[in-house]
Amino acid sequence: MPATWTRRLVAAGLAAGLLAAAAGCGSGDDAADGDITLTVGLFGDFGFGPLYEEYERDNPGIQIEERIAEFADHHTNLTQRLATGSGAADIEAVEVGFISQFTAVPNRFHNLLDHGAGDLEGRWLDWKWQQALSQDGAELIGLGTDVGGMAMCYRTDLFEEAGLPTDRDEVSALWIDSWGDYVETGKDYLAATDDDSYFFESAGNMFRAMIEQAPVGVYDTDNTLLVEDNPVVSDAWETTVEAIEAGMSNRLTAWTPEWTAAFGQGTFATIICPAWMTAYIEGNAPDAAGLWDVAAVPGGAGNMGGAHLTLPAQGDHPEEAYAFIEWLTEPEQQLRVFQETGNFPSTPELYDDPALTEFSKEYFNDAPIGEIFTDAAQQVQPQYQGPLQGDVLATIGQGLGRIEDGSQSPAEAWAQVLSDVESLA
């Protein structure tokens, strides 16, 4: 008996030792007394890393800690944390599809107008500013980071193999007029390539792009759902279904391991490119430098994605947090984020700055992405975003997924989308 007890003790000690060692690695940044740690909750990498360091250097006593969660989880968790009044970060990012869900409960956030944000209104594109205002305009819950003016990224090597043009102007010309032309190009592409090469990664993305380009999307300005009644929605659905049925979709779900790996393997030829997507392409396929290029998106301008930084009311350091996000969303910082990652500034002041407009990236075959995305951002017509915008689009995306994996006919999928969307509200 004593022997086994000794062994148990040893085991416990060993486990504890391992844990202590592990803990030691993790907590290297013990803050001195009086330091304030600002936590920043994001979905995905916003490319803020170098900026945190700089801000910490210039503002002794401020520590910044980043938390990243998955896109859908992030917004659900935020809802839960706001409701229970605990667990939210000092600064929480909110994506455009979810912003109106939160402007509906402005009391859960610090009103940034109380912190002097009113003087900064001119910093942002007007619609970007409006999106973070409460319905009565008395409260502002967030400051804009990036906007997602759209382009189309494509693989020049795969286009060449398929006998399609590779020059970005010629590629743009293939489909600039309409999504129908894009689908036709896809058919040509499929006809010229073998079975495991696809024209785009996911149908949901294509559908969302079309919706974002419309003046009115899935919501009316009085928050009526328009999924069934807006012809734009059903047209977009049909065009997407046509593409799926032609076999163009690689059937990937964004932000899954498969999706990530597919970039590296080059299994699809095009992807809808809001500015922020360029960061993912580069990150997911570091070896594909020079193979990607950027052309115009079919169907005109539209905004897809982009975020605001908000300050949940439960945060203890609104002053410091506000000062930080105010700095972080300054044009100068937004420009650096763009140059670093590709997230496109929401501050028009930069739109005639050569540092932005003449920016190009070797990775994207030296495509003038500064110019492309500036044009895209300037042409964006604001679209009203309803309270469950993000969930509605995700639900429709699932419907397209069911067609993609063959489990439902388009008619069945559409019927289910309608009833699912109904039960969301």
Binding site for another protein (CB under 8 A): 4, 7-8, 10-12, 14-16, 18-19, 22-27, 39, 43-44, 67-73, 76-77, 79-81, 83-84, 86-89, 251, 253-262, 264-265, 267, 280, 283-284, 287, 391, 394-395, 397-399, 401-402, 405-408, 424
State CA 265 to chain mean position distance: 22
Cα separation, 278 vs 344, whole angstroms = 10
Packed helices 410-424 and 231-245: angle between N→C axes, nearest 10 degrees: 140
Least Å distance between CB 174 and another protein?
28
Q: How are beta strands 91-95 and 36-43 bridged, if at all? A: parallel
**Nearer to another protein (CB atom), residue 26 or residue 60:** 26
Q: Least Å distance between CB 67 and another protein?
A: 5
CA dist 157 to 268, 288, 293, Å? 11, 10, 10
- Which amino acid would we find at residue 336? R
Q: What is the Cβ-side half-sphere exposure of residue 149, based on CA atoms within 13 angstroms? A: 29
- At residue 121's C-alpha, the angle toward residues 120 and 126, to 5°, is 150
Q: Which is nearer to another protein, 71 or 327 (CB)?
A: 71
Nearer to another protein, 6 or 234 (CB): 6
What is the C-alpha separation between 292 and 284, in angstroms, rounded? 12
CB of 13 to another protein, least distance (A): 10
Distance of CA 307 to the CA centre of its chain: 8
Distance CA(326)–CA(323), nearest Å, equals 5
Which CB, 100 or 374, lies closer to another protein? 100
Least distance in Å: CB of 225 to another protein? Answer: 15
Q: How far is the CB of 132 from another protein (least distance, A)?
A: 20
For residue 133, which phi and psi values (nearest 5 degrees)? -85, 145
**Residue 204 to residue 186: CA distance in whole angstroms:** 16
- Residue closer to another protein, measured from CB, 83 or 289: 83
> Which residues have CB under 8 Å from 131's CB, separation 6+?
96, 99, 100, 103, 144, 308, 382, 385
Q: Which is nearer to another protein, 186 or 397 (CB)?
A: 397
Minimum distance from CB of 387 to another protein (Å)? 12
Q: Whose Cβ is closer to another protein: residue 26's or residue 231's? A: 26
**CB 206 within 8 Å of CB 246:** no
Cβ distance to another protein smaller for residue 22 or 191: 22
Which residues contact residue 61 at a Cβ distance below 8 angstroms, ignoring those fewer than 6 apart?
Answer: 34, 35, 36
The residue among 378 and 407 lying less far from another protein, judged by its C-beta, is 407
Q: Which helix (H) or strand (E) holds 325?
A: helix 318-328
Q: How far is the CB of 99 from another protein (least distance, A)?
A: 17
Closest distance between another protein and the C-beta of residue 6, in Å? 11
Q: Is 197 left (phi over 0), alpha (psi -120 to 50) or beta?
A: beta
Any alpha helices (H) in 176-230, and if so which ranges? 179-192, 203-213
Smallest gap, in angstroms, from Cβ of residue 296 to another protein? 27
- Give 370 or 397: the residue with its C-beta nearer to another protein: 397
Q: Tell the smallest beta-carbon distance from residue 130 to another protein (Å).
A: 24
